[in-house]
Amino acid sequence: MRLSKLVEGVEAQIEGSDPEIVEVRDDAGAVQPGDLFVAVSGRSDGHAAIKEAAERGARAIVIEWPVPFPGARVLVPSTIEAWAQITANHRGAGADKTASRN
């Protein structure tokens, strides 16, 4: 799914390309090449894990403030709120693919 489709309904500014995203993750240690990493702020700050996500092959990141990253960046006011909408969009795309197979 394209990054722009994943962030539909999110107050977001996309910087860079509109890559195809394989999976959406908020755990940098689980990132695989082609994934979107959402730097969720909460008990810990996901922004601190962006370097690890990049090293593991993240294609794009969702962040609350600008940080260096070699791929696409999505700036949002709240990564927690963005995470909720992005994962709903991602799950919906999976449901659409399943429905089209029936």
Q: Would you write out the chain's pLDDT as a tens digit for each of its 102 residues?
A: 999 999 999 999 999 999 999 999 999 999 999 999 999 987 678 899 999 999 999 999 999 999 999 999 999 999 999 999 999 999 986 544 433 333
Query: How many domains does the structure of the chain reveal?
Result: 1
CATH number at residue 78: 3.40.1390.10
- In the chain, the largest separation of any two C-alpha atoms, in whole Å, equals 44
- Which residue range(s) make up the domain with 10? 3-101
pLDDT reported for residue 25? 96
Question: What type of residue is 9?
Answer: G
Contact 55, 22 (CB under 8 A): no
Q: What is the pTM of this model?
A: 0.88
What does the alpha-carbon distance between residue 70 and residue 58 come to, in Å, rounded to a whole number?
9
